[in-house]
Each structure stands twice: as structure tokens, then as C-alpha cells.
């Protein structure tokens, strides 16, 4: 019996005796790449029902079936934190999505700012990265990756959610995070930084807290990881 180290995200409901169909890609991965077959044990999660140990009952080239045996972990929701970031180069954008999924966020929102140079993103590819990250880090929840929206619209959608506005103009100040527990969003700008108009708009919002990330200007991907660390230690589930 394998010790069920392979973890797969599925959309299907999970529960005692529940059978779960595999997609073509999952069947290829499990039976082709990982050389598993009937009787193999796999851990499944779906962002709702926690993690379940399941056994392969059908294995084919284009699909397969698993049956849930027992719940191995309860659902662990990340804190109500969204990451808003301006997409940069492809590999660095992938990195940001992967790290955000590992470090614990509910939602990832690519935003188009004035100085954002990535014209488009491939939402489905980024979502697949978030799934893969959750599978490998032992998470039971996959953050949703939204389609890219303009900064103005993204801010409107935040409602009263507090914003940790990572402002490169604050470089050199101590990284202090004010604000209270509750729903939050982290905002990271593009390589070109925020425009003066955007900065003015953000500083004028009651819900926004401008924050420094230390004495050096960080690349956006580094800034995302640093900001997530700061937020998680002060207000999140690292405390
Ligand atoms: N080109 C800009 C820097 C952009 S860095 C300049 O030279 O000023 C990309 C993003 O990372 C910034 O928009 C900000 O959100 C974040 N960032 C990087 N370093 C930071 C710092 N020291 N303090 C706060 N935010 C920072």
C-alpha cells in the first residue's frame, strides 16, 4: 500500500464512500507519470470538504475513479486576505501566484495599473499554478485567480476591505503595519511603480495603509513574498 503522498485537487464533492472521477490530465499524471494503478492511495481536497484519503478503483488512459475512505484533515481556510498585484514577466508572475498560494491567501487579483507592461494574462494557466502549489504544500484550499482588472475597478470591488498598500515611496521607513483584524488586501505595484495619480488616490482612501518594505526597493515578486510574510506575522495565521 502506498502511503498516500500524492495530493490532487478535484472539484467533485468529497465524503465517506464518495466516488470521484478523474480528469484526463489527472489520469495521465497519476497512472502515466506517477505509475500508480488500482488500489493506490491518493489524498484529495476540493477547497470545501477538507482532505480525504481515497483509493483508485478504476485506472484508464483517459480517466479513472477514486473512492474516498476517510477524512485525513479538516478544511483549513487561509485568512481573508487577497493579493492584488500588477503582472510582470511571465515567470515572475507565475512565481507570485505560486508563493501566494503557499503562503495563504483567499484570492489573487492581477491588476492593470498605469505602468503595468504585461498586456494580458492567461487566467487558466495562473489558476493551474495555484492548484499545483496547493497540492504540493499540503493546503486544503486553492485561492481563486481572478481575471485581470484595472486598478480603479479592483479598488471599487474591495469595498471596505483594508488595504496594505506597498508603496515604494515609503522606502527606508520602518515596515509597520497599522490596521485591525478583518478582511484585507495587499497591493503590489509593477516594475515601474505606481503613478502619482494612483498614489494620490490610494493615500486618500480611508481603508488604505501605506507600508514600507524596508530600506531597499524590491522587485515586485520579492515584494509580494515580503508583504505576505509581514501581514501573516502581524494579522494572519502565522501568529
Ligand atoms: N520602479 C519603482 C519600484 C517598483 S518595485 C521605483 O524605482 O521606485 C515594485 C513594487 O514592489 C512597488 O510598486 C511596491 O508595491 C513594492 N515595493 C518594492 N520595494 C518596496 C519598498 N521598499 N517598500 C514598499 N513597497 C515596495
CA of 221 to the centre of ligand 1 (A): 10
Residue 2 maps to a domain? no
Tell me the average pLDDT of the chain. Answer: 96
Grid cell digits, residue 43: 489524498
Residues 88 and 201 in one domain: yes
Whether the CA torsion 105, 107, 108, 111 is positive or negative: it is negative
- pLDDT confidence of residue 5: 86
pLDDT of residue 2: 47
* Number of independent structural domains in the chain: 2
**Residue 3 pLDDT class (50, 70, 90 cuts):** low
Using the 3D structure, point to which of 41, 73, 105 is the last residue of a domain.
73
* pLDDT value for 4: 61
Residue nearest to atom 17 of ligand 1 (CA): 168
CB 9 within 8 A of CB 37: no
| Mean pLDDT, residues 132-144 taken together | 97
In a domain, 202, yes or no: yes
Counting ligand 1 atoms within 8 A of each CB, the residue from 168, 170, 185, 203 with the most, and so the one to mutate, is 168
* Enclosing domain of residue 11: 7-73
pLDDT tens digit sequence for 160-176: 999 999 999 999 999 99
Quick: pLDDT tens for 7-59. 999 999 999 999 999 999 999 999 999 999 999 999 999 999 999 999 999 99
**Bridge partner residues of 152 (DSSP):** none
Mean pLDDT confidence for 174-191: 95
Q: How far apart are CA 58 and CA 73, in angstroms?
A: 24
| Structural domain ending residue among the three candidates 73, 102, 130 | 73
Partner residues linked to 52 by β-bridges: 44, 71
Same domain membership, residue 170 and residue 58: no
Confidence of residue 78 (pLDDT cuts 50, 70, 90): very high
| Nearest alpha-carbon partner for 15 in 62, 57, 50 | 50
Of the given ranges (1-5, 124-128, 211-215), which has the lowest mean pLDDT?
1-5
**Model confidence pLDDT, tens digit, residues 212-223:** 999 999 999 999
Identify the residues whose C-beta falls under 6 Å from ligand 1.
166-168, 170-171, 188-189, 191-194, 212-214, 217-218, 220, 223
**88 within some domain:** yes
User: Ligand 1: which residue has its CA nearest to atom 12?
Assistant: 189
Residue 186 inside a domain? The answer is yes
Q: CA of 204: how far to CAs of 79, 111, 163, in Å? A: 26, 19, 12
**pLDDT confidence of residue 153:** 97
pLDDT confidence band for 1 (50 / 70 / 90): very low
CA 78 to mean position of chain CA atoms: 10
Looking at the fold, whether 112 and 229 belong to one and the same domain comes out as yes
Tell me, what CATH number does 184's domain have?
Answer: 3.40.1280.10
| 211's grid cell | 507600508
The answer as to whether 1 is a domain residue is no
Question: Do 155 and 37 share a structural domain?
Answer: no
In percent, the amount of the chain with pLDDT more than 70 equals 98
At residue 82, does pLDDT exceed 80?
yes
Nearest residue (by CA) to ligand 1, atom 1, is: 192
Amino acid at each position: 500500500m502506498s502511503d498516500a503522498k500524492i495530493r490532487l485537487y478535484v472539484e467533485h464533492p468529497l465524503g465517506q464512500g464518495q466516488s470521484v472521477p478523474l480528469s484526463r490530465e489527472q489520469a495521465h499524471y497519476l497512472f502515466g507519470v506517477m505509475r500508480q494503478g488500482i488500489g493506490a492511495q491518493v489524498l484529495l481536497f476540493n477547497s470545501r470538504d477538507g482532505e480525504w484519503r481515497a483509493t483508485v478503483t478504476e485506472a484508464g488512459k483517459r480517466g479513472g475513479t477514486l473512492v474516498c475512505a476517510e477524512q485525513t484533515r479538516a478544511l483549513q481556510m487561509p485568512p481573508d486576505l487577497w493579493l492584488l498585484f500588477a503582472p510582470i514577466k511571465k515567470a515572475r508572475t507565475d512565481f507570485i501566484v505560486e508563493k501566494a498560494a503557499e503562503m495563504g491567501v483567499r484570492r489573487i487579483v492581477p491588476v492593470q495599473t498605469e505602468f503595468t507592461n504585461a498586456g494580458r494574462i492567461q487566467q487558466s494557466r495562473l489558476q493551474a499554478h495555484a492548484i499545483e502549489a496547493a497540492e504540493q504544500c499540503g493546503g486544503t484550499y486553492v485561492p481563486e485567480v481572478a481575471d485581470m482588472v484595472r486598478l480603479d475597478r479592483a479598488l471599487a470591488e474591495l469595498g471596505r476591505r483594508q488595504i496594505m498598500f506597498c508603496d515604494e515611496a515609503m522606502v527606508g521607513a520602518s515596515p509597520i503595519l497599522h490596521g485591525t483584524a478583518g478582511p484585507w488586501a495587499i497591493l503590489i505595484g509593477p516594475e515601474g511603480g505606481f503613478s502619482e495619480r494612483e498614489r494620490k488616490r490610494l493615500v486618500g482612501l480611508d481603508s488604505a495603509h501605506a507600508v514600507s518594505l524596508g530600506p531597499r526597493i524590491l522587485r515586485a515578486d520579492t515584494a509580494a513574498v515580503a508583504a505576505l510574510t509581514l501581514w501573516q506575522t502581524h494579522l494572519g495565521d502565522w501568529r
